[in-house]
Amino acid sequence: MEIILIVVVGFVAGVVAEVVWPGGTGPWEVPSAIGLGIGGTLLAALMARWMGWYGPSDVSALFVYMGGAASVLLAWQLTVRRWTPSSGIPEN
């Protein structure tokens, strides 16, 4: 059940990230944002479980998932998406 919640939260986070920060027009923009959202959620879930922050049926896990997805998507937005192939150099 937890893996379904991880995928759903990551998917929603990726879609929301594309709505808030629309990227380029490439065909991989939305799938990559969704993949990063799911990956961030999964990473946060594994780290929080390893640190013992929550148990199997703890509601606080949802906040950990959202924070992990948001962190990875924000880091991606601030680093990778600033660089555009047409400019050749990162924006300031």
Kindly report, residue by residue over 1-55, the tens digit of the pLDDT: 788 988 999 999 988 888 887 666 566 778 888 899 999 999 999 998 888 888 7
Q: What is the pLDDT of residue 62?
A: 86
Give 24's contacts (C-beta < 8 A, 6+ positions apart): 84
59-70 residue pLDDT tens:
888 888 899 999
